[in-house]
Amino acid sequence: MGVGMSRKNGAKNKRESKKDATTLRRRVAELEQSEATQKLVRNGLRSELQDSRPHESEIAAMLEGARLVLTHPGFEAAARSLFHTCRKAIGATSGYIALSSKDGAYNDVVFVDSGGRPCRVGTSGPMPIRGPQKEVYRSGQAVSSNAFSRSRWARVLPKGHVRLDNVLFAPLIIDDKVVGLLGLANKPGGFHEGDLRLAMAFGSYASLAPRSSRSLDSLKRSEDLFSAVARTANDAIITIDHRGTIVSWNPSAETMFGYRAAEIVGRGVDLIMPKRFRDVKQKGMQRLAAGGKARLIGRSVELAGLRKDGGEFPAELSLATWKTKDGAFFTGIIRDITARKRAESALQVSETRYRRLFETAQDGIIILDAATGQIDDVNPYLSRMLGYEKEELCGRKLWEIGPFKNVEASKTAFQELQKKGYIRFEDLPLETRSGRPIDVEFVSNAYPVDHKRVIQCNVRDITIRRQAEKDLQRHREQLEELVLARSAELTKREERYRSLVLATAQIVWLTNPQGKVTEELPTWQEFTGQSGQDVRGRGWLNALHPDDRQPTAAIWARAVKKRTLYETIYRLRRRDGEYRHVVARGVPVQEKDGRIREWVGTCTDITERKRAEDEMLRLAAVVEQASESIVTTDPEGVISYVNPAFEAINGHLHGELLGKKYDDVFADEILKIEPEITLRDAFARGCPWNDHLRRRTKTGRTCELEVKVSPIRDASGKVLHYSIIERDVTREAQWQQHVRQVQKMEALGTLAGGVAHDFNNILTTIGINTELALLETNLRNPVLGYLQLVVAASDRGKELVRQILTFSRRNEPDRKPIKLGPVAKEALKFLRSSLPSSIEIDEKIIAQKDLIVGDAIQIHQVLMNLCNNATFALRDGGGRLAVHLTEVEDEAGRADAPPELKPGPYLKLDVRDTGQGILPEILPKIFDPFFTTKHPGEGTGMGLAVVDGIIKSHGGAIAVSSESGQGSTFSVYLPQSPGEPASELRAARSIVGGKERILLVDDEEDQVRSAKHLLEKLGYRVTARKDSRTALSVFETTPEAFDLVITDQIMPRLTGTAMAEAMVRIRKDIPIILRTALPEPIGIDEAKAIGIREFLLKPYSMGEMSEVIRRAIAGP
């Protein structure tokens, strides 16, 4: 290029320059993250300054450049300050900063500093990119020329340009692209390599300014946008950190939950979350913190929110997570869906009500597609009416089925219905599947359902009604004929027919003054089928039921004799043979002189009314004998009737309640979380109501009731009465509570097992390494005492784990000789840590011969249940809990001893508290299952029942004494055993090592390292693997290379037992020891079948491991 460019290539300077430039670029890049990160950059640069004394002036200038970028977020201001600092640090007298044009052909000058020399060239015109400048854009490296004034590029400078003796150009780089130049000129003595390095650094600083400015503006806009959305959103927007602490709270959250931002920010999110969701939340955050995937992120879920006033409401949650240097944050958008849930519930009720009406309607119903005439649905009544199955009708056109045989007429009617939306046929003839003709009333109308237009056809069978109308017409004609036939006797019969009208007869009959039929009775004969001859005299009695003839004849004879009104009920045989109940009424027709001219009467068929009366009597009997409480009230809720079950459940007599309002008599506690309306509202609106109530009866018993209130309406829809049905669900609720308690205990057992597993692993590592450290510690070393304390603490941890497993175990009773004293002390030790300081424990375990045959777990449970009850009695004011164990004999027959106690020696365990005592009236019930005086949620009523069952199964007995205000004492008697306790002690272990080769497998690093060190300390040669599959591969390759395998049980992808089975298949005689943090992970027989010779329960000591190894190698 004809320009003399100088670059010093000393190896030392290059390494130092490269190191400094790399360090500075890394620090500068961190400036883009945040102001806090930029502060760290400055601190880092200052630290490196201490290690770079030879370049002190350069690094001081770089620190100043970093400060300028931080304090000047705008590009021009930052660039101008950086330029002057760089020019001064390098010693140049003039220069400029320029940015490349869009096409890359020119430099657009931001500003120029001529250093006091004459310069008539301004910054408005473009500056062509050529010579050294072009090289900088190409290479991205700083370039200098100390002979620029003699180069050909000096000759093309514009007229008036300041004289340039030497020049230096450094790139401005953004996103790995050169976007501009930092130019310096006229340094006395010329530029050197250090100047190039320093200019590169300041070029990097200058390039950060526009990026920092854009980032700050973008961040500000994002913050303003988020703040505006949060303030105006109708949903609650809440942000919490990784600890569950609320860090932001928008106005809608204040409205939804009732907390102001000042009250809630900085507090835990559990405040707005019902208890049942808190464990799920905690586990999710723990899973995310452990690197797992949060199941709720990016999804919407339904749950419940908890307001400040304690009320819950259904909510929909959408959750997102984001991270900063301070950790993970979660932003949730919460929507109150109470209204939606109510609408869904109302829709479901409406659909159920419609389907019930559709299925039980006593008219046929057809649902058609309004566009095609295709049958979509029919109800059961229509299927029975026409004799077709539902499947035979649905999916076909109306005119394609047998009953509607007139195709053209049906199609025409359908078209008319499509046009008008309504059609009615008063008398439409149809034919059933069997060919029987029927008359129907056909009414159709169209309406939309789910954006589809349908037609509902109501079909009513009026065949019987038409027949009745015909019969009525025939009777009318007969009467007219009778009137015409006797028109000559009109005057004589006037009073007879007037009496007939008064009797409102259905069957009309006439007799002579002596009560005998002397002429035909057309309506009687028509009904009974008797002939005129059959009915004459007293022949009409033959149409009566045999059992009714004599009583009816006697009543009739008495009326004729006394000339009084005749009225009776009997069963009359209809012409088809069916006996119908009729009421017969008759009156004597007298002449003016008082003589009886004739008797006129009627018979009215009351069969249907009789059946209705019988049905009412049956229903009344059902109501009277029902096990549920049944109450009826008037429209205002005033009680008019209660059945005996109500009296038995509530303790109130019928007479005590009549005339009182139902909702005033009982101050019930409503259990439903958010009842849509109150009971009083239901009475006021005339609508159904149901809920669960808790009620204290007149006898003092608290019961839980399921209550349903139903309005009884007349034909016009007016409420006549209310029917209230109460079902006692106390026992069901207690069972549900018991099931929940059992589930909680099962969950606690599972949790305890998991905690014990992890804790035992930790204790194993601590114990092994502490023993190893003890072996390496001189007896005079003060560290020895510290290590012994660690061993003691590890033993206490081991004991604590054993207690947890004992508490959570659910095995079958294991009866064997045990000492009761240690069991009692262990239970009290376990209990003591959970008691408040206001309760004092008085422990006296003084029995010397304290051996019994029993299950330690069950005895532990007995003592825990009794002590828990005692501490509950002391929960308010504190007091003393005394537990005494003594030996007694010949207690049987004593007044204060249980009556079932047999003669002999016993151990007596007394649990006494100084609480308020037990009321005498409830003392006999305390051992009944589910009996409790605690509030809901505080107990299930099963504790003492379980205690009683365990004690009796051990051949013992339990007694209780209590005095009001003086506390209670529970005395447990257990038969004393003369034997010896089951020994669980072993001889002191000696530590024996060996030279065998051992394959050690465990997936946890600390377990592998600790066990390997221990085994090597014992002299064994150890091959350790952290992956069970890798270990199996090693064994498959060289099975004879190992004398023993020691493996953990719980490992990913391949468990210890599965690996052991595979190894035994390869080499049957290989001894295998299974290490486990939980007792007996598999059965002994199963272990032997697999090939496992020994178990090693964590945590273990060096002596235990030594003994197990020698036993396994020695073989069975």
Rounded Cα gap, residues 943 and 921, in angstroms:
19
From the list 159, 160, 157, the residue with the least C-alpha distance to 183 is 157
Which among 187, 74, 185 is positioned nearest to 132, based on CA atoms? 185
H-helix or E-strand spanning residue 721:
strand 719-728
Can you tell me the mean pLDDT for 56-79? 60
Which whole number is the average pLDDT over 820-846?
Answer: 83
Nearest to 994 by CA among 1043, 1062, 1036: 1043
Phi, psi of 295 (to 5 degrees): -75, -20
CA 992, 993, 998, 1000: dihedral to nearest 10 degrees? 70
| Residue 124 in this model has a pLDDT that exceeds 90 | no
Range with top average pLDDT, 283-292, 350-359, 662-671, 854-863 = 854-863
Q: Which residues of 347-376 are buried (b: 16+ CB within 10 A; e: fewer)?
A: eeeeeeeeeeebeeeebbbbbbebeebebb
1050-1093 pLDDT tens trace: 888 899 899 999 999 999 999 999 988 766 566 667 877 888 88
Q: CB of 137 within 8 A of CB of 171? A: yes
Q: Quote the CA–CA distance of 940 and 745 in Å, as a whole number.
A: 13
Q: Give tens-digit pLDDT for 921-954.
A: 777 777 776 667 776 555 656 677 778 888 888 8
Distance CA 1102, CA 767 (A): 9
Local structure of 1012: helix, strand or coil: helix
Residue type, position 971, single letter: S
Question: Where are the strands (E) in 515-624, listed by range?
Answer: 566-573, 579-590, 596-605
885 bridge partner residues: 845, 909
List CB contacts of 293: < 8 A, sequence separation 6 or more.
Answer: 287
pLDDT at residue 1037, rounded to an integer: 93
Q: Which residue has the higher pLDDT, 493 or 1033?
A: 1033
Quote the CA–CA distance of 453 and 455 in Å, as a whole number.
7
pLDDT score recorded for residue 1027: 93
Per DSSP, the three-state class of 529 is coil
| Higher local confidence (pLDDT), 1087 or 534 | 534
Q: Residue 437 corresponds to which amino acid?
A: P
pLDDT band for position 297 (cuts 50, 70, 90): low
Tokens encoding 834:
């959970």
For residue 408, pLDDT over 90 is answered with no
Closest Cα partner for 946 from 1009, 1011, 885, 859? 859
Residue 698 pLDDT greater than 60, yes or no: yes
Q: Is the pLDDT of residue 1107 over 80?
A: yes
Residues 6+ apart with CB under 8 A from 1100: 764, 767, 1108
Q: What three-state secondary structure class fits 201?
A: helix
Q: Is 586 in a helix, a strand, or coil?
A: strand
Q: Considering the domain 997-1114, what is its CATH architecture?
A: 3-Layer(aba) Sandwich (3.40)
Contact 888, 894 (CB under 8 A): no
Residue with tokens 């290479």: 139
Backbone angles phi, psi at 891, to 5 degrees: -80, -20
8 A C-beta contact, residue 144 and residue 166: yes
Per DSSP, the three-state class of 706 is strand
d(CA 329, CA 436): 77
Closest CA to 791 of 1100, 1008, 1106, 1107: 1100
**Beta-ladder partners of 568:** 584
* 150-155 average pLDDT score: 82
pLDDT at site 557: 94
Domain 626-726: homologous superfamily in CATH: PAS domain (3.30.450.20)
Each residue's pLDDT tens digit, 231-267: 766 788 888 888 889 988 988 888 889 999 889 988 9
Backbone angles phi, psi at 443, to 5 degrees: -125, 130
Q: Which string of b and e fits 811-820 if b means at least 16 CB within 10 Å?
A: eeeeeeebbb
Residue type, 682: A
For residue 277, what are the CA distances in angstroms to 283, 306, 633, 738?
Answer: 10, 11, 43, 21
Rounded distance, CA 466 to CA 473, Å?
10
Alpha carbons 689 and 703: distance in angstroms, whole number: 19
The residue whose two tokens read 């490196």 is 48
Mean pLDDT of the chain: 78
Gap between the Cα atoms of 246 and 335, Å rounded: 17
Does residue 442 contact residue 424 with C-beta atoms inside 8 Å?
Answer: yes
The pLDDT of residue 2 is: 31
For the stretch 642-655, pLDDT in tens is 888 788 777 777 77
Q: How far is CA 652 from CA 551, 661, 922, in A?
A: 45, 14, 21
Q: Among 588-597, 791-800, 846-855, which is the least confidently predicted range?
A: 791-800
Q: How far does Cα 549 stand from its chain's mean position?
A: 73
Judge: domain 342-461, CATH 3.40.50.1370: no
User: Which one, of 931, 896, 899, lies nearest residue 910 by Cα?
Assistant: 896
Q: Do domains 11-219 and 815-983 have the same CATH topology?
A: no
Q: Which helix (H) or strand (E) holds 696?
A: strand 689-696
* Confidence bin at 218 (pLDDT 50/70/90): low
Is residue 1023 within a helix (H) or strand (E), and if so which, with residue range? strand 1021-1025
Q: Which long-range contacts (CB under 8 A, 24 or more apart) does 57-60 make?
A: 57/89, 58/20, 58/89, 58/194, 58/197, 58/198, 59/20, 60/89
Q: Which ranges constitute the DSSP H helices of 292-444? A: 338-360, 380-386, 390-393, 407-420
Please, which pLDDT band fits residue 104 given cuts at 50, 70 and 90? confident
Measured over the CA atoms of residue 1000, residue 1005, residue 1010 and residue 1012, the dihedral's sign is positive
Q: Which residue has the tokens 């060289």?
A: 1038
pLDDT at 8 over 50: no
Q: What is each CA distance from 118 to 88, 110, 111, 115, 145, in whole angstroms?
A: 20, 19, 16, 9, 22
Angle, in degrees to the nearest 10, between helices 11-30 and 35-51: 160
- Superfamily of domain 815-983, CATH level 4: Histidine kinase-like ATPase, C-terminal domain (3.30.565.10)
Cα–Cα distance measured from residue 181 to residue 168, given in angstroms and rounded to the nearest whole number: 10
Could you give the strand order of the β-sheet that contains 437-449, starting from the edge strand earlier in sequence? 375-378, 364-369, 452-461, 437-449, 422-431
- 108 near 181, Cβ under 8 Å? no
Query: Cis peptide leading into 546, omega within 30 of 0?
Result: no
Q: CATH code for 11-219?
A: 3.30.450.40
Which residues on adjacent β-strands are paired with residue 306?
312
**Does the pLDDT of residue 361 top 50, yes or no?**
yes
Q: What is residue 542's predicted lDDT score, i.e. its pLDDT?
A: 94
Q: What is the pairing mode between strands 246-249 and 300-306?
A: unpaired
What angle is formed at CA 121 by the lines to CA 120 and CA 125, rounded to 5 degrees?
A: 150
Query: What sections of 641-698 are H helices per DSSP?
Result: 644-650, 654-657, 662-665, 679-685
- Is residue 17 a contact partner of residue 161, using CB atoms and an 8 Å limit? no
Name the band, by pLDDT with cuts 50, 70 and 90, for residue 779. confident
Q: Report helix, strand or coil for 531.
A: coil
Q: Which two tokens stand for residue 160?
A: 């008036």
In this predicted structure, the answer to whether residue 1113 has a pLDDT above a threshold of 80 is yes
User: Which pair of structure tokens corresponds to residue 636?
Assistant: 């205002």
Domains of the chain: which residue ranges? Answer: 11-219, 233-336, 342-461, 492-611, 626-726, 815-983, 997-1114
Q: Closest by alpha carbon to 836, among 796, 877, 803?
A: 877
Cα(320)–Cα(300) distance, integer angstroms:
10
Question: Cα 700–701–705 angle (5° rounding)?
Answer: 130
CATH numeric code, 492-611: 3.30.450.20
- Cα angle: 783, vertex 784, 789; to 5 degrees: 95
Architecture of domain 233-336: 2-Layer Sandwich (3.30)
233 DSSP β-pair partners: none
